[in-house]
Amino acid sequence: MTAEHHHAPQHNLRANQAGNAGDCTSSAHSSLPWRRFGRFLATTVLVSFVLNEIWEMAQMSAYVETAGPSWTSTLGLCTRAAVGDVGIILGIYAAGALAAGDLGWGLRGRWNIYATAAVLGLAYAALVEHAALAAGRWSYTERMPVVPGLDAGLWPLLQMTLLPPLTFLFARRWAGRSVTKGSL
């Protein structure tokens, strides 16, 4: 009888935990954070593309390869670059999520999220610029200020330092107020 009595509370605890887990996954309320996260990601892609397309078009005169042709003839190249930039920003988000151990870290709206995105973006841009310049993929005109010490163009460094945090800020605002930790 003592053994049965001892196991009964554990059984009830497991049943309650299983019942609670089932409630969380099946209720419409629990899907709200996932919908918010989906809106956040969709908005991240859209905002990132628009901001990067504008930036790419604005800086084309600073690259030898795109300085001469009209903006209409470089639109395709800049659009492909903007799509690549969207991938970079999603990669920055994924790296931040892995480091934070929180898939919804961009929905939190704290200063350290934006600072992390800026630092990751700057580091990535510096690496890409060095590799691309060394490989001869592109070169700068006199319109590209070069950052001493980093030996990379200012415009692409600023692009990946400013646009990821701005993208996450706009996406978070569109997706709704910040969520509590652990809700995703």
Task: Specify the residue for token string 């609670």.
Answer: 20
Q: 113: Cβ–Cβ under 8 A, 6 or more apart, which residues?
A: 96, 105, 106, 165, 168
Whole-angstrom Cα distance, residue 23 to residue 44? 30
pLDDT value at position 102?
87
Q: Which two tokens stand for residue 88?
A: 């970079």
Span 6-27, pLDDT tens digits:
544 444 444 444 444 433 333 4
Share of the chain above pLDDT 90, in %: 54
**Bigger pLDDT: 124 vs 182:** 124
pLDDT value at position 177?
52
Span 25-69, pLDDT tens digits:
334 444 458 888 899 999 999 999 999 999 999 999 999 999 888
pLDDT at 87 over 90: yes
**Bigger pLDDT: 17 vs 98:** 98
pLDDT at 86 over 70: yes
pLDDT value at position 184?
53
Span 108-136, pLDDT tens digits:
878 888 898 999 999 999 999 999 999 99
